[in-house]
Amino acid sequence: MPFSDRGGSLDRISDDQLLKLAREASLKAHAPYSAFPVGAALLSSDGTVFTGCNIENASYGLTICAERVALFKAVSEGVKDFDTLALWAEKPSWPCGACLQCLAEFAPDLRVIRLGEAGVEERSLKELLPLAFHLPSATENERE
Protein backbone atom coordinates (compact mmCIF):
# COMPACT_ATOMS: atom_id res chain seq x y z
CA MET A 1 0.00 0.00 0.00
CA PRO A 2 1.58 3.37 -0.95
CA PHE A 3 2.02 6.14 1.57
CA SER A 4 -0.92 8.47 1.95
CA ASP A 5 -1.81 11.34 4.27
CA ARG A 6 -4.07 9.07 6.34
CA GLY A 7 -1.36 6.53 6.83
CA GLY A 8 0.52 4.36 4.45
CA SER A 9 2.98 1.54 4.34
CA LEU A 10 6.53 1.80 3.12
CA ASP A 11 9.12 -0.98 2.97
CA ARG A 12 11.91 -0.42 5.49
CA ILE A 13 11.66 3.34 5.63
CA SER A 14 14.86 5.17 6.55
CA ASP A 15 15.20 7.88 9.18
CA ASP A 16 15.77 10.41 6.39
CA GLN A 17 12.54 9.36 4.66
CA LEU A 18 10.63 9.51 7.94
CA LEU A 19 11.98 13.01 8.65
CA LYS A 20 11.00 14.07 5.14
CA LEU A 21 7.43 12.92 5.78
CA ALA A 22 7.43 14.86 9.06
CA ARG A 23 8.62 17.97 7.22
CA GLU A 24 5.90 17.55 4.59
CA ALA A 25 3.32 17.17 7.36
CA SER A 26 4.51 20.44 8.95
CA LEU A 27 3.50 22.27 5.76
CA LYS A 28 -0.13 21.43 6.58
CA ALA A 29 0.05 22.87 10.12
CA HIS A 30 -2.47 25.46 11.27
CA ALA A 31 -0.23 27.64 13.45
CA PRO A 32 -1.43 31.25 13.05
CA TYR A 33 -0.79 32.17 16.70
CA SER A 34 2.66 30.70 17.36
CA ALA A 35 3.98 30.70 13.77
CA PHE A 36 5.65 27.43 14.83
CA PRO A 37 4.56 24.67 12.44
CA VAL A 38 5.49 21.15 13.54
CA GLY A 39 5.23 17.89 11.65
CA ALA A 40 5.36 14.33 12.93
CA ALA A 41 5.67 10.95 11.25
CA LEU A 42 4.93 7.92 13.41
CA LEU A 43 6.22 4.56 12.17
CA SER A 44 4.25 1.55 13.36
CA SER A 45 5.75 -1.87 13.98
CA ASP A 46 4.13 -3.16 10.79
CA GLY A 47 5.74 -0.42 8.66
CA THR A 48 2.71 1.85 8.40
CA VAL A 49 3.43 5.58 8.72
CA PHE A 50 0.95 8.07 10.18
CA THR A 51 1.63 11.78 9.85
CA GLY A 52 0.35 14.71 11.84
CA CYS A 53 0.76 18.45 12.14
CA ASN A 54 -0.01 20.85 14.96
CA ILE A 55 -3.44 22.46 14.84
CA GLU A 56 -3.81 25.63 16.90
CA ASN A 57 -6.99 27.22 18.16
CA ALA A 58 -7.70 30.75 19.39
CA SER A 59 -8.60 29.09 22.70
CA TYR A 60 -5.02 27.90 23.03
CA GLY A 61 -5.76 25.02 25.41
CA LEU A 62 -7.65 23.37 22.56
CA THR A 63 -4.53 23.28 20.40
CA ILE A 64 -3.25 19.80 19.55
CA CYS A 65 0.35 18.91 18.82
CA ALA A 66 1.58 17.11 15.71
CA GLU A 67 2.67 14.08 17.71
CA ARG A 68 -0.79 13.46 19.16
CA VAL A 69 -2.46 14.02 15.78
CA ALA A 70 -0.28 11.26 14.29
CA LEU A 71 -0.84 8.98 17.30
CA PHE A 72 -4.61 9.49 17.38
CA LYS A 73 -4.87 8.89 13.62
CA ALA A 74 -3.02 5.60 14.07
CA VAL A 75 -5.02 4.42 17.07
CA SER A 76 -8.30 5.37 15.39
CA GLU A 77 -7.27 3.05 12.53
CA GLY A 78 -6.56 0.20 14.97
CA VAL A 79 -2.77 0.53 15.04
CA LYS A 80 -1.24 0.48 18.53
CA ASP A 81 2.37 -0.71 18.19
CA PHE A 82 5.04 1.81 17.22
CA ASP A 83 8.78 1.89 16.59
CA THR A 84 9.83 5.45 15.73
CA LEU A 85 8.50 8.99 15.88
CA ALA A 86 10.14 11.59 13.62
CA LEU A 87 9.67 15.30 14.31
CA TRP A 88 10.32 18.33 12.17
CA ALA A 89 10.23 22.00 13.10
CA GLU A 90 12.38 24.90 11.95
CA LYS A 91 13.63 25.24 15.52
CA PRO A 92 14.25 21.65 16.65
CA SER A 93 12.32 20.62 19.73
CA TRP A 94 11.33 17.43 21.52
CA PRO A 95 7.72 16.47 22.24
CA CYS A 96 5.91 18.20 25.10
CA GLY A 97 5.00 16.31 28.25
CA ALA A 98 1.39 15.74 27.17
CA CYS A 99 2.53 14.12 23.91
CA LEU A 100 5.15 12.03 25.69
CA GLN A 101 2.55 10.78 28.17
CA CYS A 102 0.13 9.85 25.37
CA LEU A 103 2.89 8.05 23.47
CA ALA A 104 3.99 6.19 26.63
CA GLU A 105 0.53 4.62 26.81
CA PHE A 106 1.22 2.74 23.58
CA ALA A 107 4.98 2.69 23.02
CA PRO A 108 7.14 2.96 26.15
CA ASP A 109 10.19 1.88 24.11
CA LEU A 110 9.57 4.34 21.27
CA ARG A 111 12.52 5.83 19.40
CA VAL A 112 12.18 9.59 18.86
CA ILE A 113 14.23 11.37 16.19
CA ARG A 114 14.53 14.94 15.00
CA LEU A 115 16.76 16.89 12.68
CA GLY A 116 18.97 19.05 14.88
CA GLU A 117 21.88 21.37 14.19
CA ALA A 118 24.31 18.43 14.20
CA GLY A 119 22.14 16.17 12.05
CA VAL A 120 19.73 13.47 13.15
CA GLU A 121 19.36 13.35 16.93
CA GLU A 122 17.81 10.37 18.71
CA ARG A 123 16.35 9.80 22.17
CA SER A 124 14.20 7.08 23.64
CA LEU A 125 10.80 7.95 25.02
CA LYS A 126 12.06 6.72 28.40
CA GLU A 127 14.90 9.26 28.25
CA LEU A 128 12.47 12.06 27.46
CA LEU A 129 9.87 10.96 30.05
CA PRO A 130 11.60 8.66 32.56
CA LEU A 131 8.70 8.54 35.02
CA ALA A 132 5.66 8.17 32.78
CA PHE A 133 2.35 7.73 34.57
CA HIS A 134 0.71 4.32 34.18
CA LEU A 135 -2.44 2.72 35.54
CA PRO A 136 -3.19 -0.99 35.29
CA SER A 137 -5.60 -1.76 32.48
CA ALA A 138 -8.88 -3.56 33.09
CA THR A 139 -7.37 -6.78 31.71
CA GLU A 140 -4.40 -6.47 34.08
CA ASN A 141 -6.81 -5.99 36.99
CA GLU A 142 -8.72 -9.13 35.97
CA ARG A 143 -5.51 -11.21 36.15
CA GLU A 144 -4.77 -10.16 39.73
Catalytic positions are 67
Concatenating the DSSP letter of every residue in 37-70 gives: -EEEEEEETTSEEEEEE-B--SSGGG-B-HHHHH
CA distances from 7 to 1, 41, 50, 68, 73 (A): 10, 9, 4, 14, 8
Q: CA-CA distance, 29 to 52, in Å (whole number)?
A: 8
Q: Where are the alpha helices (DSSP H) in 50-143?
A: 66-76, 97-106, 125-128, 138-143
Coil vs helix vs strand at 81: coil
